Structure 1
Amino acid sequence: MKVMIDTGANRSFISIKALDPSYGKHLINKSHSRIILADGYTSLSVFGTMTLSITMGDMLTSIKAFVVKELCADCILGMDFINKYKLIINTEEQIVSISDDYKRTTLKFAVNKNEIRYPARLINNVWVPPKQTVTVLVSVELSSAEVLFRPSFKLQQRSPVVMLNSALTIHHHTSFISLHNPTTYSYSLPKGIILGTTTIPALSFKRNSTTDHQIVHKNINNLIRHIDNPEQQDRVKTLLNPYAKLFDTSKLTVASNVTPHAIKTLDHPPPVSKPYYSTPSKQEEMYKIVQELLHFGLIRPSDS
């Protein structure tokens, strides 16, 4: 089952197609109704609600979700789930963390390789003038979504029109794509041609280690115990708590990131050069300058 976390949805949803047919009898409030999405126009037909049990890492979670006919993913977890489990999404480190009353669990996520691709078709015949960029209307088999657009490789090969990978916002099954004609002659594209594909990447979670909050609490207290003012202690602790994982010494951690050199050079032995000749007077003046810098603590002796 594909689950998508959507910070733009107030409630959680599940597609009735993702459920076993026998689950229908467990639906609560089976009265049919419709809900309006964030765009203010698109609506979904609701069959009822049911409580979902979702295992994330070693934590069992539950949320009451609307059962609808069709979604872009099997299940969408909205802000009700995010707020209930204090979910934090770290896009830079590609991790998601959730917590209950007892612990916080961190999960790594990766973009699902089995993405569903929706073609983006040209709605009208288009004439692109030379050396110009035009914005065209396309149709997509999604009512409302934020998607990634990838241009058609075959179309790019057989036509001079240039398209770029981009993020699109779809409303009422339509969106806009920019086309550029770098040639000195006009070029036309017929109605209905596929300009490329759009995808909604789903998140697949991988188990990551949990944080030992008892050790974290002990280590942070040891760091701030020299602060006599209780108010200052609380303020420092508040600043350190968001980085609790850094103070968990219960498990060994190894830095896996390698910082590249600013100047890329090939492997070679250290360069060797002969010392420059210097007169005794220059050596004496340089010695005085070095001693003065050492005296004021601006430099220190090298042991290398």
Structure 2
Amino acid sequence: QSINKVSSRVILADGYTSLSILGTVHLSINMGDMLTTIKAFIVKELCVDCILGMDFINKYKMIINTEERTVSIRDGPKRTTLQFDVNKHCINYPARLIKHLRIPPKRTVSVPVSVALSSAQVLFRPSFKLQQRSPILMLNSSLKIHRYTSFISLHNPTNEVRLLPKGIILGTTTIPTLSFKKDPDIDYSLAQKNICNLIQPITNSEQKDKVKSVLDKHAKLFDTTKHTIVINVKPHAIKTLDYPPPSSKPYYSTPAKQDAMYKITQELLQFALIRPSYSPYAAPALLVAKHDCTWRMVVDYKKLNNITIKDNHPLPNMEQTIQVLGNGYQFFSKFD
């Protein structure tokens, strides 16, 4: 759909926060087996992909049943009911006020909060209990956490000074569900070639067609011309013993290997697979020859491994596991 460029502002449901409108667009949204349409505003930044407002609710006579956790919409004589999409594996991290806070009347302040995440892009949801007993206003928003700290905007709409104690939970943060960076330029010919190579060992033509139809829906994953980067995942943490950070000098390398190492490093930087870092930890890298006469970069983390607290998870007996899972199943996959 074409975008109709406009310049205006809208007020959010809190009654005072405004957003700049960049344009409007007519959207078609699939709600179950019903196709709905709506005129949507385009803004520069939003904490979610889309917000459906009262215009959509009134147009399709939406009914939200919180007890049964369903939402239903009607278009003419037809009514469609949908179940709430609840992520049961979503982990909430409380956002606590770092210091005592005094908010003057009619003022908006940005305050530091602590979150039990070293670095992440998260979604913030204000505490319902706090909003019930305090007039302080907060918004659902997207926060960037750096070194266990982020900032939240608070507004005091009253004519009195409001106080908040240190350590109070202002709300909860959640890490958004896993997603991939969008890239419209997909090399479908290469993707199809890789898919065909994968399904070639399948001899049953009916099964081969079914597998291919599934893989075709995710063709981007088989386009190996560009690196696929996963974002919005839980930050990785390595717990170490109380030892000084290990540091090692680089291994001896020939000029040819140094050039190859430089090219590999630049490629990793280009695709954001690595980033420059200033740290007391240092591990040497070396090149190992692959079967196709190219180089694979390997980092020697032996010293770091020696002081790392291991994540010990007892492995189940594989034969017993297959026996439990194998009732009626013939195909199994695994992650290496």
Bigger Cα Rg: 1
Same topology, TM > 0.5: no
When the two structures are superposed, what TM-score results if normalisation uses the length of structure 1? 0.37
* Higher RCO (CA-CA < 8 Å; seq separation 6+): 1
When the two structures are superposed, what TM-score results if normalisation uses the length of structure 2? 0.34
